[in-house]
Structure 1
Amino acid sequence: MKIRVSSLLGLAAAALLPSLAMAADTPAIDKADNAFMMICTALVLFMTLPGIALFYGGLIRSKNVLSMLTQVTVTFAMVCVLWVIYGYSMAFATGNAFFGGLDMFMFKGIELKSQSGTIYQLIHVAFQASFACITVALVVGAIAERIRFSAVLIFAAIWLTFSYLPLTHMVWGGGFLAADGALDFAGGTVVHINAAVAGLTGAYLLGKRAGFGKEAFKPHNLPMVFTGTAILYIGWFGFNAGSAAAANEIAGLAFLNTVVATAGAILAWVIGEWMARGKPSLLGACSGCIAGLVAITPAAGTVGVGGALIIGLVGGFAGLWGVTVLKRWLRVDDPCDVFGVHGVCGIVGCILTGVFTSASLGGTGYAEGVTMAHQVWVQLFSVIVAFIWSGVAAFIAFKVADLAVGLRMPEEQEREGLDVNSHGENAYNQ
């Protein structure tokens, strides 16, 4: 019996249809997206070293500046190592609603050409590692000038594992909050609220610095603060625009929104300070810059430019209130105002994301069937979850560190300075 050639071709095509469909579902690797994401990753790494280190280092007293630089540098390195071993897997493996699994332990199954969207997965690994590094570094500003170096490392390892990784999975890894519809474009809950609550918890457990309230605790080097702020500002474009995961229109929107919101927040903070104290200050302008960057982070890729401006203005005034009024109400010694800026402005940004994502207000719009009221509730709920989760994890982490090595330096060594007592160095030789 003869079989026609056309019939054979038809059978072959039918056999190939499933594989062709699978190939169509896999996006092609885009070299421009890969280049863009590597640049964004480098910018976010630059935010931690040297950005956060210089910003925080200038805010504290000269006898402790090297301790701050060391804490940021070494926690940065430790987070990178833990990220390779199990961090990425726990954040982005399938897992359950709260934790990823260990399917990618030590990058098992991630090959050279494995993909994450239009980029290679290894680049996604690096980009997300930069977020983990800066989040842990943010915490140390709230516990500066009195904590043991060994306690910082123990806390960082535990808190990364039980707070940062699960919250990342919940929001960006397809977990609980993602399924609930929470919007967090670049880290309002995962990074800023998460770190701020941990810092606040640590500040309460450590207690106030020796002499706090009796002695003048002023930033020792405002040019250093400005330098750190400038580095953070430039790096933040990698932080926000890079969260689009491609060089596309959403990255462009996030880029412009970051510019506009930051400008609005600087003006709001400086005007508010000018009205309240009679003089505008460089420290106020720098603080306003960070406030605007934090506030727009969760919203950068979903709100319109007008919404970004309003978020920046509100964030600037909210941050000023956080470091002046709220800080007094809380009666906490937070040397770098981590909670006042990152906590307060992170909350403002997360909630206003639910408002200004509305298409009627210039945003990209909600998911089908979602109303503004529902989205705002979802945003508020995600803030509450981040507060409770981070607070509990941080309390446990600090308590374990306290039991293991003790949290606080002896008062005599604290008064002399952590630089010489923890690290045997002086920043400024006389």
Structure 2
Amino acid sequence: MSSSSGTTMPLAYQTSASSPEWLNKGDNAWQLTAATLVGLQSFPGLVVLYGGVVKKKWAVNSAFMALYAFAAVWICWVTWAYNMSFGDRLLPLWGKARPALSQGGLVGQAGLPATAHHFASGALETPAAEPLYPMATVVYFQCVFAAITLVLVAGSLLGRMSFAAWMLFVPLWLTFSYTVGAFSVWGGGFLFQWGVIDYCGGYVIHLSAGFAGFTAAYWVGPRAQKDRERFPPNNILFTLTGAGLLWMGWAGFNGGGPYAANVVASMSVLNTNICTAMSLLVWTCLDVVFFKKPSVVGAVQGMITGLVCITPAAGVGGHGDGRAGRQRAVVHDDDPAQAVPAAEARGRHAGRHPHARRGGAPGRPAHGAPRRPHPVRALPAGHQLQGRLLRRRRAARQAAGGRALHHRMERGRHLHHLRRHQRRRPAAHDPGQARGRRRRRPWRGGVRALGRRRALRRHRPRATRRRRRRAHVHAPELK
């Protein structure tokens, strides 16, 4: 079939042409469905969640920040960011930046050229990953992952960052931070070659979003003291609605990780729901134990913690691998939406899953490939160093708590001193006007005593009354 301009239309667009031999319709349909579910997590899921969990004066700005990030990532992704994350190798950290909008590339079979694994001698061990669906499906699926990462970062800056600064931050962070992690772990970079496994975003999404939110919140500064002491949610029903969309959309988040409609996808969805339900119930029980009543916001935080905790190992772990949920209790920072502890702490812990190994998925080494030791674990005395850092952080936290208690006690003593010794200042500069008359005490006698007192006052000599009136007036100064 030919168009009016004389050019030949691609076979994939011809209605009478059969599907290509390499196309697996089931895998393609599932990846498109999973990508749509992940997109619903960002918009409207996190948009509604952020709009309901913050104060009313920040609701519109917070929701608009998430909406802008979702839209801006799309333009940046198809223009240059996709090939920087999954294209040909330029550096061990980056791919070659170029648009992902060529007609021949989008309708052809998907492929990740940098994922080919070679032996030390240079011989090819495993070829590059080539899923059985078009490249357009991969671009769509990876774009919604990048978008939700920026929306998670926005959760740490709600109510403290101007919208103009956020507009500039989104494309810069996507270009210089997210693409580095995506290419290093998924696109065939140096971490991929070392054997680092990230099933569905523990390092690339949650760890990077958590550390980015923590760093941005540190440099922006804390909120006002009154906002930190009392931070009620704007709308509980909006918060629950956004949390429900986030939970249901996570089936596509983890279920699309195998890049195929197979058994691993089924196990991922099941493990995700079991871990999320357990984390929500445990958090609610702990609220009852420590605060004597359950909390809706606490239940939502427990739900998000379970979702993030199971993500890096959803398709490779059993039902008892979500032990990282109890680590949230020791994470303290000024984070309005609790994005840093929910994302960074869970992604860092669960991403180190010892059995995270699977094959046949693009962006990951095949099963049976030689595994090199992790660079951090290979350091000498690495475990001792980690323990020392944890002890130092615990000591710093205790010292900070002691200083805060001391400041509160000093402030209380100061306010008590002011209330005890504060005196009313005169309203005028004239000593005669400033002094005024002495306030008369209320009469506590009976009616007869009051009448007797008034009668005695009427019969008092006029000279005595004049002398008493003069006693309240200052004599003029002598010149």
Q: Same fold (TM over 0.5)?
A: yes
2:282 maps to which residue? 268
Asked whether the 8 Å contact 1:46–1:235 carries over to 2, the reply is yes
Are 1:317 and 2:317 counterparts? no
Distance across 1 between alignment mates of 2:180 and 2:229: 40
Q: How does 1:208-219 map to 2 (within 5 A)?
A: 208-212=222-226, 215-219=229-233
Partners of 1:243 and 1:251 within 8 A in 2: yes
Partner of 1:110: 105
Once the two structures are superposed, what CA deviation does each residue of 1:248-305 show, in whole Å capped at 9, x if it has no partner?
11111111111111122112222222222222222222111111110111111222x3
| Unpaired stretches in structure 2, ≥5 consecutive residues | 1-19, 112-130, 359-365, 383-479
Taking a change above 3 Å as real, the CA distance of residues 111 and 57 of structure 1, as seen in their structure-2 partners, is: closer
How far apart are the structure 1 equivalents of 2:110 and 2:157? Answer: 39
If you compute each CA radius of gyration, which structure gives the higher value, 1 or 2?
Answer: 2
Which residue in 2 is equivalent to 1:418? Answer: none
The structure 2 residue matched to 1:186, chosen from 176, 196, 200, is 200
- Note closer, same or farther for the CA distance 1:195–1:283 as it changes in structure 2 (3 Å cut): same
CA distance in 2, matches of 1:159, 1:85: 15
The residue type paired with residue 48 of structure 2 is L
2:181 alignment partner in structure 1:
167
Q: Is the 8 A contact 2:197 2:356 kept in 1?
A: no
Alignment of 1:414-425 (within 5 A): none
Shift of 1:316: 2.8
Asked whether the equivalents of residues 316 and 355 of structure 2 are also in contact (C-alpha less than 8 Å), the reply is no
Q: More helix by proportion, 1 or 2?
A: 1
What amino acid is aligned across from residue 139 of structure 2 in structure 1?
Answer: V
**1:44 pairs with 38, 45, 52, which one?**
38
Normalized against structure 1, the TM-score is what?
Answer: 0.73
Displacement after TM superposition at 1:214 (Å): 6.4
1: distance between equivalents of 2:145 and 2:33?
A: 14
Question: Which residue, out of 81, 89, 98, partners 2:93?
Answer: 98
Tell me whether 1:246 sits opposite 2:267 in the alignment: no
CA distance in 2, matches of 1:188, 1:256: 18
CA distance in 2, matches of 1:198, 1:257: 28
The residue that corresponds to 2:52 in the other structure is 58
Tell me the residue number matched to 1:228. Answer: 242
Contact 2:106 2:134 in 1 (8 A): no
Conserved in 2, the CA contact under 8 Å of 1:98 and 1:170? yes
- Count of residue pairs brought into register by the alignment: 334
> 1:128-173: CA deviations, max 9, x gaps?
0000110001111101112110100111111000000111001110
User: 1:52, 1:232 within 8 Å by CA — same for their partners in 2?
Assistant: yes
Q: Counterpart of 1:310 in structure 2: which amino acid?
A: D
Partner of 1:347: 348
Looking at structure 2, the residues matched to 257 and 269 of structure 1 have their Cα atoms a distance apart, in angstroms, of: 18
Are the counterparts in 1 of residues 324 and 346 from structure 2 also a CA contact under 8 Å? Answer: yes
**Structure 1: tracts of 5 or more residues without a match:** 1-25, 359-364, 382-430
Alpha-carbon separation, structure 2, partners of 1:368 and 1:99 = 23
In 1, distance between residues paired with 2:309 and 2:266? 18
Question: For residue 342 of structure 2, what is the amino acid of its counterpart?
Answer: V
1:336 is matched with 337
Alignment deviations for residues 363-405 of structure 1 (CA, whole Å, 9 cap, x no partner):
xx9745659x869948xx9xxxxxxxxxxxxxxxxxxxxxxxx
Q: How far 1:111 moved relative to its partner?
A: 3.9
Q: CA–CA distance in 2 between the matches of 1:214 and 1:114?
A: 52
Tell me how far apart the structure 2 counterparts of residues 244 and 376 of structure 1 sit (CA, whole Å): 27
1:285 paired residue among 289, 299, 302: 299
How far the C-alpha of 1:183 sits from its partner, in A, is 1.3
Residue of structure 2 aligned with 1:326, choices 316, 331, 335: 331
Give the Å deviation of 1:315.
Answer: 3.2
Output the CA distance in 2 between the equivalents of 1:203 and 1:123.
35
- What is the distance in 2 between the residues matched to 1:356 and 1:86? 31
State TM-score, norm by structure 2.
Answer: 0.65
**2:457 aligned residue:** none
Q: CA deviation at 1:105?
A: 5.0
Name the SS for the 2:181 alignment partner.
helix
TM-superposed CA distance for 1:318, in Å, is 2.1
Instruction: Report how far residue 186 of structure 1 moved.
Output: 0.7
User: How many Å apart are 1:221 and its aligned residue?
Assistant: 1.4
What is the RMSD computed on CA atoms of the aligned residues? 2.5
Counterpart of 2:354, as a letter, is: G
Cα deviation, residue 337, structure 1: 0.8
8 Å CA contact 2:312–2:351 kept in 1: the answer is yes
CA distance in 2, matches of 1:30, 1:106: 22
User: What is the identity, as a one-letter code, of the residue corresponding to 1:140?
Assistant: A
C-alpha distance after superposition, 1:201-248 (max 9, x if no partner) = 111111111234664112121211111110001101111001111101
Instruction: Tell me which amino acid in the other structure corresponds to 1:256.
Output: L
SS in 1 for 2:142: helix
Letter in 1 for 2:346: C
- Paired with 2:341 and 2:37, the residues of 1 have a C-alpha distance of 25
Cα distance in 1 between the residues matched to 2:24 and 2:106: 17
- The 8 Å contact of residues 91 and 173 in structure 1, kept in 2 or not, is answered as yes
Match of 1:33 among 27, 34, 41: 27
- 1:136 equivalent in alignment to 2:150: yes
Q: Which has the higher contact order (CA 8 A, sep 6+)?
A: 1
Contact residue 85 and residue 107 of structure 1 kept, 8 A: no
User: Residue 47 of structure 1 contacts residue 134 of structure 1 at CA under 8 Å; is this kept in 2?
Assistant: yes
Provide the residue aligned with 2:441 in structure 1. none
